[in-house]
Amino acid sequence: MPSYTRFLTMISTSTIIMYGLMYLNTFSLDHVYFSETRAYMALYMGAVMTVVMLAFMWGMYKNTFANVGIILVATLVFAGSLFAVRSQNPIADVTWMKAMIPHHSIEILTSSRANLSDPRVQALANEIIEAQRREIDEMQRLIAELEGRTSPPGQ
């Protein structure tokens, strides 16, 4: 009989990996910050994956009481983390900027690497790149100031 500990370990590991994968499309490594928002997103994805995987493996995991409990907990984790992402209620100044920097970095990556041929579209992409870099620099300065440091990381 499969182990519920192994199932939990598999779900936890996958959720952590999903969190990390969300950073693969950032333009620059110095744009990677811990993001509370992305953590909530990874949690709700992990919660959904828990239910889906358990449903596919229901025959392997015979304890109906445990299975229903897992589904209930996954549902609560999903609802709580979705609420946190959608409301942004727990997100404050620094945590907001640490979530926005990777988001802006994605715009730099996609705008700088797209195969653009129309000069108007290329001009728009260049404006986006410039704006996002300026905003990232400003957010990094504000984070350093609000965290009591004198300069942004790497400077």
Query: What Rg value do the Cα atoms of the chain yield, rounded?
Result: 20
What's the pLDDT band for 2 if we cut at 50, 70, 90? confident
What's the pLDDT band for 4 if we cut at 50, 70, 90? very high
Tokens 């983390």, residue located:
81
Burial 78-97 (b: 16+ CB within 10 A, else e): beebbebbeeeeebeebbeb
Q: Tell me the per-residue pLDDT of 123-135, one tens digit each, with 9 for 90 and over.
A: 999 999 999 999 9
- What span, in angstroms and rounded, lies between the C-alpha atoms of 111 and 149? 31
52's tokens:
């889906």
| Range 43-49 average pLDDT | 98
- What span, in angstroms and rounded, lies between the C-alpha atoms of 35 and 20? 10
Whether the predicted pLDDT of 54 surpasses 90: yes
- What span, in angstroms and rounded, lies between the C-alpha atoms of 113 and 6? 41
Q: Tell me the per-residue pLDDT of 111-122, one tens digit each, with 9 for 90 and over.
A: 999 999 999 999
- What span, in angstroms and rounded, lies between the C-alpha atoms of 105 and 28? 7
Q: Tell me the per-residue pLDDT of 9-43, one tens digit each, with 9 for 90 and over.
A: 999 999 999 999 999 999 999 999 999 999 999 99
Q: Specify the pLDDT at position 149.
A: 76
Whether the predicted pLDDT of 150 surpasses 70: no
Q: Tell me the per-residue pLDDT of 57-107, one tens digit each, with 9 for 90 and over.
A: 999 999 999 999 999 999 999 999 999 999 999 899 999 999 999 999 999
- What span, in angstroms and rounded, lies between the C-alpha atoms of 9 and 5? 6
